Every structure is written in structure tokens, then in C-alpha cells.
Structure 1
Amino acid sequence: MLPQVEHELHKRRRSRNIGLLVVLLAFVALVFGLSVVKITQGDMMQGYDHRPRASMLPQDPDPPAANAAPVAAPGTPAANQEAGE
């Protein structure tokens, strides 16, 4: 059996594939490094999920008494019953 000679086209394609591999590995390393830094760096990081968070609300200078009755939110069935509708 004769040894097969590799064509020049295959050599060029292999070198491009190796270059692309290096670029992709560098990108993965960059994203991983940024993730590690962001996770280990910080205090209470919170994501924004389009909802109000208690930690982001301003502190109430006059909080209600602990034994006060809860108030129903406007537009809920409990609020309509309290209003006598």
C-alpha cells in the first residue's frame, strides 16, 4: 500500500481550523475569567427581574405598628369587599 500524500488544500484547511480553535478557546477563557471575577468580586449582586425588590426600596421612617391589620391592594377582591361593592 502506498502512503497517501496530503494535498495542499488540506494543509491550509487544517491550519485555518487550528487558528479558529485557538480563537474559540481564547473567547471561552475570557468569558470564564470574567465570570469568575464577577462572582468572587462582589457584595450583594442582584439581577434585575422586572420586579420591585424590598432591598431596593427606600426605608420607611414611620413603619406601621406590628399589630396593625393588613390592607388589601386596590383592585383585588378583598379591597372591593372592604369598600362595600
Structure 2
Amino acid sequence: MTFRPEHELHTRRKGRNVGVGLMLAGFVVLVLALTFTKVTNGDFEMPKAQELTQ
């Protein structure tokens, strides 16, 4: 059983998909880094629970 060679269109699509995947991974790393920096900066405080006095 022999496999047919990939068509040139599939090769171009694969390259484009790899590029989009790398850009998406870079965006995720950027968001995680910014979140980590904001949380560990010391300025971040959890919202204080408001007491209900009625």
C-alpha cells in the first residue's frame, strides 16, 4: 500500500496553521505573564466582602 504525495495546497495550509498556532500560543503566554505580574506586584487586593447590616 503506497501513500500518494501531499498536494502543494495542503503543504501551504499546514504552514499557515503552524503560524496561527504559534501566534495563539504567544498571545496566551503574554496574557499569563501580564496576569502573573499584576497579581505578584503587590498592588492587587482581593475585594473585601461588604457586611450587610440591616
| TMscore range, shorter length | 0.7 to 0.9
* Identity, % of aligned positions: 43
What does residue 29 of structure 1 align with? Answer: 29
List runs of 5+ in structure 2 lacking aligned partners.
none
Structure 1 residue runs of 4 or more that deviate by more than 2 Å after TM superposition: 43-47
Take 1:20 and 1:43, find their aligned partners in 2: how far apart are those partners? 35
Three-state SS of the structure 1 residue aligned to 2:5 is coil
Aligned length: 49
What RMSD, in angstroms, separates the aligned Cα atoms of the two structures? 1.9
Q: How far off is 1:22 after superposition?
A: 0.3
Q: 1:8 to 1:45 in 2, by over 3 A?
A: same
Q: 1:4 to 1:32 in 2, by over 3 A?
A: same
Of structures 1 and 2, the larger Rg is shown by 1
2:4 matches 1:4: yes
